[in-house]
A and B are shown apart, each in its own frame.
Chain A
């Protein structure tokens, strides 16, 4: 079946530091990949996505590249801000009988200090 594995958290960084959150997946076929972000007290919201191999998703300074050869979709940002403190979820969507359903990773808590 489908699965998503994220790096263990929590992650604590100083403002302007470089961020990487690792995400690897297992899926049949050619899934679409997503990063969602959850700010305190809110629901999840889509941060970026990639629908095919070698695609790069980007938004708000965050980037992730769909690497089929390593089955990875790592999230990066060159300079984090305090306002980036949130929980980040990697997710995938594949077809077949689970059409429409997303499989989420366990989430990674990011805290950025001034």
Chain B
């Protein structure tokens, strides 16, 4: 099993540009989570999906952030326009009800907005 796959691993962009982060969950998992981690705020849940449907997006910071899950094997987190305060490590995780909801995390995408 390849685990949760995220791309890119590192992204450096200029303020105002659009950024798209990608995630492939573990096959068979029906939950997908997007987190953001910073030194100041720690680990924050942004949004999560169940069976490709967004369940809770209350952690999405503002309208500049959007997330989609068009099918069971792919999700994107988009920031448009990006700002320096969006610099963080973004993690994707997946889980399933049959596995006691243990979440499996991807390696993360380190985003730097200059």
Contacts and interface: CB of A to CB of B under 8 A. Distances in A.
Q: DSSP class of A's interface residues: helix, strand, loop or mixed?
A: strand
A101 to B, nearest CB: 6
Contacts of A89: 43
Interface in B7-33: 31, 33
Contact of B56 (A32, A42, A46, A101): A101
Interface in A6-21: none
A43 interface: yes
Contacts, number: 49
A96 to B, nearest CB: 12
A51 B102 CA distance: 11
A32 B43 contact: no
Interface residues of A, number: 18
Contacts of A82: none
A43 B56 contact: no
B93 A93 contact: no
A100 B105 contact: no
A70 interface: no
CB-based closest 5 A-B pairs: A43-B105, A44-B105, A106-B42, A100-B31, A46-B102
Interface of B: 4, 31, 33, 42-43, 45, 48, 50, 55-56, 91, 93, 95, 97, 100-108
Interface of A: 32, 34, 42-46, 49, 51, 89, 93, 98, 100-102, 104, 106-107
